[in-house]
Chains A and B, each alone.
Chain A
Amino acid sequence: MSNLWKISGEGRSAVYLPELDVPETAVPQKLRRKEEPKLPEVAEMDLVRHYTNLSRKNFSIDTHFYPLGSCTMKYNPKVNEVTASLPGFRNAHPYQGDKHSQGAIELLYNLQNQLSAVSGFDETSLQPAAGAQGELTGILMIRKYHKEKGDLELRNKILIPDSAHGTNPATAAMAGFKAVEIPSDDHGNIDLAALKNECDETLAGIMITNPNTLGLFEENIEEVIDAVHAAGGLVYGDGANFNAIMGIVKPGELGFDVMHYNVHKTFTGPHGGGGPGAGPVSAGQLLKDYLPGPIAVKEGEVFHLKQPVKTIGRMKLFYGNFGILVRGYTYISMLGAAGLKDVTENAVLNANYLKALVKDSFPAAYDRSCMHEFVCRGDIAEGIHTLDVAKRLIDYGFHPPTIYFPLIVPEAIMIEPTETESRETIEAFAEALNKIAEEAVNAPELLHNAPASTGLKRLDEAGAVKNPVLRY
C-alpha cells in the first residue's frame, strides 16, 4: 500500500488558498480542538502521482471487460462528463429558487417524461439516490397506500421470489414488512402454486425483478401480477435489469404499480467505484400521488418543483443525485426511443451469443434463451470452485463476473456482457472461459493460485474481520 502519510512533509500543501483579508476574530479557547487532525501534507505533484498510480491498480470499464452480472457495466460516454460539468449545473445551488433554476428543473421535467415514456408509467420521481433507495421508496409507497385504505395492520407481508435482487429482503424489513420468500420452479420462473398459496388477506405486495437474477424473463408474469392484485396486493418492479426490456415491453402495461431504475446501470451514469448512482421511481395511477418529491412540473412555460399530494416524504435532501441525472438525460436524449431499443436488442444478443460460445464448458443453469445476462456454475471440475474460475479470469485480463449470486444456483457465476462490448471482446472472453475449463482439469493449480498476474495475490478476508484494521 502506498501510504500518503509516509511521503508527507510538514507544511506542504497542494492548494493555493487566499490570504486573510479581514480583521481577525479570536476563536475562544474553549471551542478549539486539542489535537489537530493528522492529515497528509504533500505537494501537488506528489499528490497527483499518488492518486494516478492508485487508479492504475483498478480494473474499470475504460480499461477492461467488466461483465459483472446485474450491474450493467456498459460504456459510459465521455459527453456525459462534459454536460454534467457545465457551470449552470455544477455550480447551481438547491436553494437559489425555482425562478433562477429553470434550466435544471426543465432537465428534471424532461427526464421524468422520458422515463415514464419508456416504462409505461404515469409519473416519475427522480429523488431516490440509488437502486436500494428506489426499492425502499416503492415499498414505502405501497405501505402508505395500504395505510390510507386502513388495512396496513393486516397486510404485513411482502413476497420476494428467491430469484430477486439481494437488497429486496432488507428493503422490505426497513419498511416494516415481513419478507416472505417464494421459490422458483425448475424453469427459473416464480413457482405459481407457492405464490398463490401466499396470496391472502395479509399480502401487502410483491417485489419482482424481471428479468430476474437468473437473466430470465418471467414467463408467467401476467398471471403472477393478476394473482397479487386479486388478493389486494401491489406489485413493485426492481428495475435494475431494465437494460433487458427497453422498447420490448413496458412494465406499466404489464401491470406493475411502481418501479425503480438504476441510472448508473441502464443510463450510463458512471459507477464511480461504488456510486453515486441514481434510482428514479415511476408509478402508475394507484401510486403516483405517493411519490417522494419534490418533482418537476410545468405550468405554462414555467417549471416548478412540487410535492405530490399524498407523498411519502423526502427520501433524501433536495432533488436527487442531480449530477448523475444530467448524465442519464444526456444519454437518453442522444439515443431516443429507437436507440434504447437497439441497446436492449444488442445487450440480449451479446448475452445469448456468449452463452452459446461457452455452453460446453459452462452450461447455463437454465436451458432457455436468456435476456441481458445468464447464470452458470463454477464448480466445473473436482476441487474447483467459482472463486478459482473468477480469479483465473483476472490472469486473462478480464474483470470477473458477479459470483455466488443468485443464491439459488450453487457456485453461481452471473455474466452480463452489455451491449457496448464488441463481438470480438465477447469471443475473447469466451475463449478464456473455455481455456479455464481445460485448465481446471489439466492444470488446476493455475486456478487455485490465481490471480498470478496482479501485484497482490488472494487476500485474507477472514483475517480482515478477525483483526480489524480500518484506518492507517
Chain B
Amino acid sequence: MSFISNMKKDRELMLNKIGISSVEELFKDVPAGKRFPEVVMPQALSEPEILQALSRMSAKNASAECYDWFLGGGIYNHFVPSVVGALTSRGEFLTAYTPYQPEVSQGTLEAIFEYQTMISELTGMDVVNASHYDGATALAEAAIMSVRSTRKRNTVVVAPGLHPEYLEVIETYLQGLDIQLTFGEPDDGTAGYIIQNPTFTGEIIDVKAEAEKAHEKGALLIVHTDPIALGILESPGACGADIVTAEGQCLGVGINYGGPLLGIFATTSKHIRKMPGRIIGETIDQCGVKGCVLTFAAREQHIRREKATSNICSNQGLAALSAAIYLAAVGKSGFKKVAELCWHKAHYAAAEIEKLEGFSIKTKGDFFKEFLIETPIPAEKIFGNLKEKYIMAGLPLSRFKDGNSNEMLICVTEVNSRKQIDRLVSALKELIL
C-alpha cells in the first residue's frame, strides 16, 4: 500500500503522458551497475501487526505513570494537561511546516509569537527565538554566539554545576571552532560565562553576583535555567543575564525517552542580530491588518550561507507550541502554583530523608525541586531495590564519569503526592534496617 493512492491504471496513464513505457526509464541517470540493488529488510507489517508489535515493545519499558517517580536529572515528570496533546495533534498544526508563506501559516506564526511572549515573560529577556533542538544545543549555540558578540575574545568559561551531558554537547559543538572552553571564573579574555541555575545537583545560585562577575570582565553572562523554577525565582533577565537558555521539556512536552525536547533561547534586543534560529515578528498586511511573519532572516543559513549565525533550519516547532499551550493553560496563577508545589514537596521530602540514619542532604544552600543526597549504601543498589517496589528513587551519580557511588539526585514535582513521598522515605528506611 505505502499510503499511495495511484493504482496501476493511473500510472499507465501518467507514463503515457510523460512519453515513456515504464517507471524504470525514469532512473536511467543512476549508474547501471548500482541500479535496483537488493534491500534486505524484515517482512512488511500490517497496521494491526505493527500496533501489536510496538505495544509489546513499549510494555518492556518502565514508564513514569506506573511508578512513584523521583527521577529527574534534566528531564522531569511534570504534569502534561490533556488539552496540550488534544490541540497539538490537530493536523493543521502537526502537518504544516516552517511558516514560509505567512498568509497561510498564521496559526503556527501566532502560536510561536505567543510562545516568544510567554518565554520572554518567564525569563525577563527581550527577544526569544522559535526554539532549538534541546537545552544543550541551545546552550552550545549560546556559547558560540557569545564569541561572535564580543570583540577579540574566544574563550567560554563554564562555572561549576553544569549538567555533565550538556558539557559533552558543548564540547562536540566547539571542536571545529576557534573557541577555548575553560572552567572556573571569567577573566579578561572571556567572551561568555556559563552558569546553570539551579545547578545539576540542585543548588540555587546568586545570579546577580555572577552577572557582576561576568560584566566586570566584559564577558556575557549565559544562564541556563529550569523554566518551572521561574514561577518562584527571580528571572535571569532581572539579574543581568545576556543570554538565557533552558530545557523546555517540562512545559507540556512530556518525557519521550529524552526526545523530542525543547531548546529555549532568549537574549537582549542589543544582541538580536547575532542570535541563531528563527524569529517571528509582528507586522501588517497591505490593508493594514496585523499579522506575523518570519523575520530577521538575514542572519540565517539560507541567506548568509557560510557567514550565518548557525546552520539551524528546522526547530522544535511542535514542542514550542506545546509549551505555549501549556503556559496558557496553567496561566499566571497556575504556573506559580506548579512551582510552589514543587518547592514545598521537594523540601518536605528532603526534610524527611534527612531524618533517616545514614542519609544526608548534600545540596548546599537553597534548592528548588531537586536535591542531592548521600546514601549509606551505593545509590545504584537503592535504585534497583526500590524499582522492584515501583518507586523510581532518583538518579545515582555513579552513572556519570567520576560520579560518587553513594550519591543520588532526587527530584520531586507537583505530581508526587505526600503518600508517594512517604512511601519513598519508608522504602529508604527499610533498606538500612
Known: A451-B103, A471-B120. A337 touches B257 (CB 8 A): no
Q: Which residues of A contact B301 (CB under 8 A)?
A: 132, 166-167, 169-171
Please, which residues of chain A bring their CB within 8 A of the CB of B377?
none
Q: Does A313 contact B (CB under 8 A)?
A: yes
Contact A317 B96 (CB under 8 A): no
Specify which chain A residues have a CB less than 8 angstroms from the CB of B101 in the assembled complex: 59, 390, 394, 399-400
Instruction: Please list the 9 inter-chain residue pairs (A to B) with the smallest Cβ-Cβ separation, ordered nearest first.
Output: A62-B91, A318-B258, A274-B317, A336-B44, A176-B176, A94-B258, A272-B318, A88-B58, A103-B60
Cβ-defined contact, B317 with A275, below 8 A: yes
Question: Do A21 and B418 form a contact, CB below 8 Å, given A62-B91, A315-B172?
Answer: yes
A-B contact pairs, 16 of them (CB 8 A): A15-B83, A23-B348, A28-B366, A31-B204, A55-B93, A74-B3, A90-B256, A92-B257, A102-B60, A130-B313, A217-B27, A250-B37, A272-B321, A273-B111, A318-B75, A334-B50
How many angstroms from the CA of A73 to the CA of B314 in the assembled complex?
Answer: 14
A-B contact count (CB 8 A): 679
B259 CB contact (under 8 Å) in A320, A329, A349: A320
A130 touches B314 (CB 8 A): yes
Question: Considering the complex, which residues of chain A in the window 382-436 have a beta carbon less than 8 Å from any beta carbon of chain B?
Answer: 390-391, 394, 399-400, 402, 405, 419-423
- Chain B residues with CB under 8 Å of A4's CB are 114, 328
Q: Which of B92, B233, B347 contacts A56 (CB 8 A)?
A: B92
Give the Cβ gap from A457 to chain B, nearest Cβ, in Å: 4
Q: How far is the CB of B332 from chain A (nearest CB, A)?
A: 4
Instruction: Decide: B97 and A276 in contact? CB cutoff 8 A.
Output: no
Interface size class of A (residues with CB under 8 A): 35 or more
Which residue of chain A has the shortest Cβ distance to B269 in the bound complex? A468
Selected from A79, A323, A460, the residue in CB contact (under 8 A) with B284 is A460
Smallest Cβ-Cβ distance to A269: which chain B residue: B260
B103-133 Cβ-contact flags toward A at 8 Å (1 or 0): 1111110111110111011100011101101
- Please report the C-alpha to C-alpha distance between residue A79 and residue B417 in the assembled complex, in whole angstroms: 34
Set of chain A residues within 8 Å of B71, measured between Cβ atoms = 93, 95-96
Q: How far is the CA of A349 from the CA of B90 in the complex (A)?
A: 30
Q: Which of B92, B107, B302 contacts A167 (CB 8 A)?
A: B302
Contacts of B17 in A (CB 8 A): 353, 356-357
Across the interface, which residues of A come within 8 angstroms of B51, CB to CB? 79, 82-83
CB of B34 within 8 A of chain A? Answer: yes
Q: Nearest Cβ in chain B — how far from A204, in angstroms?
A: 11
Interface residue? A216 (CB, 8 A): yes
Indicate the member of A79, A176, A276, A350 with the most B CB atoms within 10 Å.
Answer: A276
Are B312 and A132 in touch, CB under 8 angstroms? Answer: yes
Q: A87-B63, A90-B255, A368-B29 are in contact. Are A136 and B311 (CB under 8 A)?
A: yes
A193 beta carbon closer than 8 Å to chain B: no
A470 near B317 with CB under 8 A, answer no
Interface hits, B262-292 → A, CB 8 Å? 269, 272, 278-287, 289-292
Q: Mark A284-309, 1 if CB is under 8 A from B, else 0.
A: 00000000100000000000000000
Question: How far does the alpha carbon of A145 sit from the alpha carbon of B135 in the complex, in Å?
Answer: 28
Give chain A nearest CB distance to B376 CB in angstroms: 21
* A interface, over-half SS: loop
Task: Give the most central of A93, A101, A346, A420: most B CB within 10 Å.
Answer: A93
Smallest Cβ-Cβ distance to B368: which chain A residue: A31
Do A31 and B259 touch (CB < 8 A)? no
The answer to whether B102 touches A132 (Cβ under 8 A) is: no
Contact B133 A316 (CB under 8 A): yes
State whether A94 touches B257 (Cβ < 8 A).
yes
Q: Is residue A348 within 8 Å, beta carbon to beta carbon, of the partner chain?
A: yes
**B360 CB, nearest partner CB in chain A, Å:** 18
Q: Given known contacts A96-B61, A340-B39, what 14 new A-B pairs fall within 8 Å (CB)?
A: A18-B417, A32-B234, A40-B328, A54-B111, A59-B101, A129-B137, A219-B29, A322-B256, A330-B54, A333-B53, A352-B26, A394-B101, A471-B113, A472-B113
B144 cross-chain contacts in A, Cβ below 8 A: 174
Determine if B107 and A57 form an interchain contact, defined as CB atoms under 8 angstroms apart.
Answer: yes
Q: Of A113-121, A194-202, A229-237, A437-445, which binds chain B?
A: A113-121
Q: How far is the CA of A169 from the CA of B302 in the complex (A)?
A: 9
Question: Which residue on chain B has the smallest CB distance to residue A244?
Answer: B27
Tell whether A76 is near chain B: CB-to-CB under 8 Å.
yes
- Chain B hits for A319, CB < 8 A: 257-259
- Do B318 and A103 touch (CB < 8 A)? no
Residues on B with beta carbons closer than 8 Å to the beta carbon of A470: 116, 120, 126-128, 272, 279-282, 295
A143 to B333, CA, bound (A): 50
